[in-house]
Amino acid sequence: MGPPKAGHARIVVLRGKGYGGIVDGAWEVQLDGTPLSGLKTGTFVFVDRPHGPRQLTATEAAFPGVTKHDITVQSGQTYFFVARTSKQKNALMATAAGTGGGILGLALGTAFTSGYDNPGPIDFFPLDDAAARTTIAELKLGQ
């Protein structure tokens, strides 16, 4: 990938190869409200931005919450994040499966997970440089 543009930091979001779901579409991830398109299983996306505070967000159609992850970036640095299905989404899916889905499943799942730190569908985990570069070598650039 090379270094970020002069005066900018690079933010890289990756999604590992393993996925156990039925539908494997691109996740709706944004940086400061701008979509980072193409984040599917086994891919990574990146963008260069000037130094300062930034916010990674994630949404999903028909999911009740929004993921918000605040970071402050420094020029010349690269920041790596792995995106994974959030604890809340996993719990909601398990509750829906156990109750047969529908409004009751969503209501129960929302009540059970109301105390979770992240109300959104995706968790962002920082990765150190060495682990990120090893992982990225096995992934494709998102399109």
If asked whether residues 109 and 128 sit together in one domain, one would say no
Asked if residue 126 and residue 102 are part of one domain, the reply reads: no
Domain that holds residue 101: 87-120
pLDDT, residue 100, reads 54
One-letter amino acid of 88: Q
Pinpoint the alpha helices (H) of the chain.
Answer: 87-99, 102-112, 129-136
pTM of the model: 0.79
Q: Average of pLDDT values for 65-87? A: 91
Q: How far is CA 17 from CA 24, 37, 42, 83, 128, in A?
A: 11, 17, 4, 11, 18
Tell me, yes or no, whether 43 and 12 share the same domain: yes
Residue 73 and residue 135 in one domain: yes
Say how far apart CA 109 and CA 96 lie, in whole Å: 7
pLDDT, tens digit, for every residue of 100-121?
555 555 555 555 555 557 667 8
Q: What is the CATH number of the domain that holds 72?
A: 2.60.40
Residues 104 and 137 in one domain: no
Total domains in the chain come to: 2
Among residues 19, 69, 59, 51, which one has the least CA distance to residue 35?
Answer: 59
| pLDDT recorded at residue 64 | 74
pLDDT digits (tens, 9 = 90+) for 35-69: 998 898 899 999 999 999 999 999 887 777 789 99
3-state secondary structure of 126: strand
